[in-house]
Amino acid sequence: MSYLYGGKILRVDLTHGDIKIVPTERYASKYVGGRGTNARMLYETIDGKTDPLGPDNIVAFGSGPLTGTTFPGCSRTDVMCKSPVTNLIGNCSFGGDWSAELKNAGWDHVVLEGRSPHPVYVYIRNDKVEIRDARPYWGLPNYEAQAAIREDLGNPNYKIVSIGPGGENQVTFASVHSNIGNSGSRTGNGAVMGSKNCKAIVVRGTQGIAVADPDAFLEACAEAHMHIRGTDAYAEYHEIGLLADELAYVRCGIECGGDAHETAPSFDDKFNYSDFWKRYGYKRTGCTGCPVHCMEAYNVPGIGATIISCELYPQLGAELRNYDERFWYYVVMQCHKQGLDNTSVATILQWLMTLWELGIIDESITDGYRMEWGNREAIEGTFWNIVNRKGFGNVLAKGMKAAADYMDAKIPLEKRGGKSTYYHAMQVNNNPMYGIVGRFHGQALAYSVGRRSDLISDLDMSEFLIVSAPVYPIWDDATKKAYTEAEQAEALRLGGTPEAADPDGYKGKAALVHDMGMTIGLPDTVGTCKWHTKFLYMYIDAPHYAKALTAGLGRTVEPEELVNASLRMRNLERALECKMGRRRDNDTIPEKEFDKKVSHGYWKGKLGTSREGLERMKSEYYLIRGWDLATGIPYRETLLEYGLDDVAADLASLGILPERPEWLSTQAMKEPSLAHILMDEEEKRQREAAKAPVEKEEKHTSEADKATTA
Amino acid sequence: MADTSVADASMKIVRDEGREWVPEYGRLLVEPEKCTGCRTCELFCSLRNFGEVNPARARIHVVRSQEDNIITTVPVVCQQCEDPLCMAMCPAGALSRNLETNAVVVDHDKCLGCRTCVQVCPFGAPSVDPRTGKSEKCDLCGGEPVCVKFCSQEALKFVTAEEESMTRKRDMVDKYVEHLRAASSGGTI
């Protein structure tokens, strides 16, 4: 038995009812596990032609070497497939207790392939794997289905990840859900699971996880636990979760996208999450092995009980100007139960309300609902129509682009102001944006280059703190000043220029976004929670993971090895996305968002991201990543540097592999803080080249020669 | 003390060891309402005691109820009873009192794996190890319970008998003081 790993990957062929066992070692040495191994398995399976909802797609559920161990935050499951929302990589993760159980059953990953002829669930009890009839549970909401399966199995210790009716009906933005409140959302992984007729994966494991040096491993984990418990952020999240964060973001106008807050009056005091928690919260809770307990458990009389954390607060509340707290709670809970991504639901409804306000749509489009801001009947009716794929809801279930095409065909161009309804959709690559607007420069870059138009893949957390500190609810002035100054110093260190720490600046932001992307790749591969990193200011970093892995695996793991694996994974993902058609042009924010000032809260009338500014940040980002400035595809040299030789050969055979020009410095890859200087030089070079077209042509010829010889 | 045959038997064994009751013995205090159900205690318990991470082998179990989706989690662990039924009923005499720590401990060489201790314990605290088939129960980690160290909610505490009896009383008084202060300042504090 291999240390820390279960050692086996379970591949379930639902078409033929077969199972196959693949050794984890095939991937682990290069990709560590979790998101890394998932990405590699996805690369080997899909391409641009794969139908996301067809049998050729896969859904991979993955844990990492530290999942299920004593390392803090050991609970994450990474879920990957080709997304029916973006037609690119669909990646989400969820916490809870599922993957820890999977590891204890001796498995690192479960991959669903093919399509079952009738609804089934996958049953795993240690080495015993069965594909079982799920027809009795088909149609049941997540909570009810999981309770029924557990009851029928006669053992409450089974851990289950399932889909709700949303996933069964293949609503493109359906989520997977584990236990109560643990959702893997945003990219339609639930819809893909539904397309395979797979209701759930049910796991019980009692085999344990072997550790090479238990004493040293315990010490490394103890150190990480105590490190987290010693941070200021822990003290806050442990007591009140993300309530203060959410309130701060609303106050400075970050939490709502597009026109949602353009014409809105102040949100302050209209929706007070803290009061809601005091009234209806009964318990703090969290995932397996986590000291933070960031989630709130609620029981609202007449509606029911559920668990809530993170972005659920503003999305279906403030963003829709839905100030009826009990109704907000009801919709959130139904998103869990029916298995839909609440962010997508909120952003789509916000889009419809914008179109309604602009007079572009009316009841003839919306099944008779008046899409006025905060209209309870419209929100609830449309939600259920999406879940059940009825009427206009059936159109919305296909995603924003399909819905825009439908509306454009029905509404004359002049009524649309000469534009497509898609112009008003807050989306990146058709993925409804997480509310936070692109008016904050670092976030605009993160949304553009990230993998799913939100802040979970790349992010500028320094900017977050700097812009939200002035309105942070629980800090006094001295605290605000101290945190802001500390974060500005960090931004200066990483970005290499004071502009990086300045919300009005563009230069140096790419280094911050890249650094966060690199950092959260670490927990994503080892299978722990990214919130414990600097992502939420708890600063677990590569050395902590390396120390635990060294003790647990019984071989020396250097922090650099893990950082390298994180970067390798990101380049692999990017290569796959480029293979499926993603280019520099796709890395953007909605056209409508350019040059818009913040329209609400503390930053009202300020900031806004310009097109040139975003392009400049993207160029710096590509420079740091080693991606082609023109296309955004990783250079051959970059892929080779991370040992992705076969990927390079693959892209070359498709004729899309760029060669790194000789004159292009690779310094930014080693020292991201210099990217802004190198980009200044590059822009100067381009300007000069534009002045002397003959010289430029010669250069191009020599590059082409080089490419041919290579 | 009630004169039941079971209690008698156990008391006899205890007294035969010549043990005296010492209030300073550390005791594991469980406050279920603070528990969030993270099971960190199970993870560290199994690592510390078996050299592997395996909640199924842990000597403490967080039992979860989620009737109507309302979560209740209760850490169940040996209370190191004064008159332990498990010790009295063990047909192999495999259970004994560790006089250093006051913990009731299992001698695995003597244990038959008959599960009597599991069945008679009023809490169901002992478990049968899925790997060895023998009885497993909390031995207080030799006097420094690892679960307590990593319970970030302080739902588990290691305290003396005196502290234990005062803990809940103090909690109640703290709430009372808070209420009085809020009332005197005319609002919440």
Compute CA distances A52 → A163, B5, B168, whole Å: 17, 69, 57
The shortest C-alpha distance from B23 to chain A (Å) reads 30
Q: Is the pLDDT of residue A98 over 80?
A: yes
Largest CA distance in chain B: 65
**Residue type present at position A678:** L
Q: Which residue in A41, A189, A190, A179 sits closest to A108, CA to CA?
A: A41
Q: Based on the fold, state whether residues A598 and A455 are members of the same structural domain.
A: yes
Residue partners of A91: CB distance under 8 A and separation at least 6: A35, A38, A39, A78, A79, A80, A83, A187, A451, A452, A457, A573
DSSP-derived pairing of the beta strands A59-62 and A109-113: antiparallel
User: How many independent structural domains does chain A possess?
Assistant: 3
Q: Which residue in A602, A601, A581 sits closest to A656, CA to CA?
A: A581
The shortest C-alpha distance from B54 to chain A (Å) reads 4
Give the domain-ending residue among A204, A225, A258. Answer: A204
Q: Based on the fold, state whether residues A502 and A591 are members of the same structural domain.
A: yes
Average pLDDT over every residue of A74-100:
96
Q: How far apart are CA B121 and CA A236, in angstroms?
A: 40
Tokens 């806050």 correspond to A236
Say which of B51, B57, B68 has its CB closest to residue A214: B51
Domain containing residue B128:
5-161
Stated as kind and residue range, the H or E segment containing B14 is helix B5-16
Q: How far apart are CA A196 and CA A114, in angstroms?
A: 6
| B68 contact residues in A (CB cutoff 8 A) | 304-305
Domain containing residue A422:
267-428
Fill in the DSSP letter of residue A302: T
B51 CB within 8 Å of a chain A CB: yes
DSSP-derived pairing of the beta strands A120-125 and A198-204: parallel
As given in the structure block, the two tokens for residue A273 are: 């999450």
Say which of B38, B52, B70 has its CB closest to residue A288: B38
Phi, psi (rounded to 5 degrees) for A300: -105, 120
Asked if residue B98 belongs to a domain, the reply is yes
pLDDT score recorded for residue A318 = 79
The shortest C-alpha distance from A73 to chain B (Å) reads 10
Q: Based on the fold, state whether residues A195 and A93 are members of the same structural domain.
A: yes
- The neighbour count for residue A611, using CB atoms within 10 Å, is 12
Tokens 């020599």 correspond to A702
Average pLDDT for chain B: 86
Q: Based on the fold, state whether residues A496 and A600 are members of the same structural domain.
A: yes
Q: Which residue in B96, B91, B82, B157 sits closest to B119, CA to CA?
A: B91
pLDDT score recorded for residue A9 = 98
Q: How far apart are CA A490 and CA A483, in angstroms?
A: 11
The SS3 call for residue A638 is helix
The model's confidence at residue A263, banded by pLDDT at 50, 70 and 90, is low
pLDDT score recorded for residue B6 = 38
- Which CATH number goes with the domain that contains A527? 1.10.599.10
The shortest C-alpha distance from A289 to chain B (Å) reads 4
* Cross-strand bridge partners of residue A128: A125
Asked if residue A30 belongs to a domain, the reply is yes
CB B138 within 8 A of CB B59: yes
Say which of B36, B52, B53 has its CB closest to residue A286: B36
Asked if residue B140 belongs to a domain, the reply is yes
Q: How far apart are CA A196 and CA A55, in angstroms?
A: 7
Stated as kind and residue range, the H or E segment containing A367 is none
Asked if residue B82 belongs to a domain, the reply is yes
Residue partners of B33: CB distance under 8 A and separation at least 6: B155
pLDDT score recorded for residue A603 = 85
Compute CA distances A700 → A626, A657, B50, whole Å: 19, 16, 65
pLDDT score recorded for residue B9 = 39
Q: Is the pLDDT of residue B14 over 60?
A: no
pLDDT score recorded for residue A705 = 45
Say which of B48, B71, B153 has its CB closest to residue A218: B48
Q: Based on the fold, state whether residues A327 and A461 are members of the same structural domain.
A: no
Q: Based on the fold, state whether residues A272 and A165 are members of the same structural domain.
A: no
Q: How far apart are CA A440 and CA A607, in angstroms?
A: 6
Q: Is the pLDDT of residue A323 over 90?
A: no
- Which CATH number goes with the domain that contains B127? 3.30.70.20
Q: Is the pLDDT of residue B12 over 50?
A: no
Q: Is the pLDDT of residue B17 over 60?
A: no
Q: Based on the fold, state whether residues A692 and A630 are members of the same structural domain.
A: yes
A529 CB within 8 Å of a chain B CB: no
Q: Is the pLDDT of residue B149 over 80?
A: yes
> Greater confidence, A246 or B15?
A246
Assembly ipTM: 0.93
Average pLDDT for chain A: 92
B70 CB within 8 Å of a chain A CB: yes
Q: How far apart are CA A314 and CA A319, in angstroms?
A: 6
Q: Is the pLDDT of residue A532 over 70?
A: yes
Asked if residue A553 belongs to a domain, the reply is no
Average pLDDT over every residue of A578-599:
92
Asked if residue B93 belongs to a domain, the reply is yes
As given in the structure block, the two tokens for residue A36 are: 């890394």
A370-427 pLDDT, tens digit each: 999 999 999 999 999 999 999 999 999 999 999 999 999 999 999 999 999 999 999 9
Q: How far apart are CA A515 and CA A494, in angstroms?
A: 8
Q: Based on the fold, state whether residues A422 and A458 are members of the same structural domain.
A: no
pLDDT score recorded for residue A155 = 94
> What percentage of chain A has pLDDT greater than the value 70?
94
Mutate to test the interface with B, among A288, A303, A532 (most CBs of B within 10 A): A288
As given in the structure block, the two tokens for residue A239 are: 């007591």
The shortest C-alpha distance from A214 to chain B (Å) reads 5
Q: Based on the fold, state whether residues A503 and A389 are members of the same structural domain.
A: no
Q: Based on the fold, state whether residues A495 and A526 are members of the same structural domain.
A: yes
Q: Where are the alpha helices (DSSP H) in A91-229?
A: 98-104, 142-153, 165-168, 189-195, 214-229
As given in the structure block, the two tokens for residue A552 are: 């647990």
- Which CATH number goes with the domain that contains A143? 3.60.9.10
Average pLDDT over every residue of A30-40:
97
Q: Based on the fold, state whether residues A39 and A187 are members of the same structural domain.
A: yes
Q: How far apart are CA A406 and CA A427, in angstroms?
A: 17
Q: Which residue in A163, A157, A219, A212 sits closest to A192, CA to CA?
A: A163
A149-178 pLDDT, tens digit each: 999 999 999 999 999 999 999 999 999 999
Q: Based on the fold, state whether residues A499 and A642 are members of the same structural domain.
A: yes
| B153 contact residues in A (CB cutoff 8 A) | 293
* Cross-strand bridge partners of residue A299: A305
Say which of A156, A209, A229 has its CB closest to residue B54: A209
B84-118 pLDDT, tens digit each: 999 999 999 999 999 888 899 999 999 999 999 99
Which of A276-290, A444-458, A473-487, A552-566 shows the lowest mean pLDDT across its residues?
Answer: A444-458
> What percentage of chain B has pLDDT greater than the value 90?
68
Q: Is the dihedral of CA A618, A623, A627, A631 positive or negative?
A: positive
* Cross-strand bridge partners of residue A306: A298
pLDDT score recorded for residue A464 = 85
Q: Which residue in A483, A484, A566 sits closest to A519, CA to CA?
A: A566
Contact across the interface for B47 and A290, Cβ inside 8 Å? no
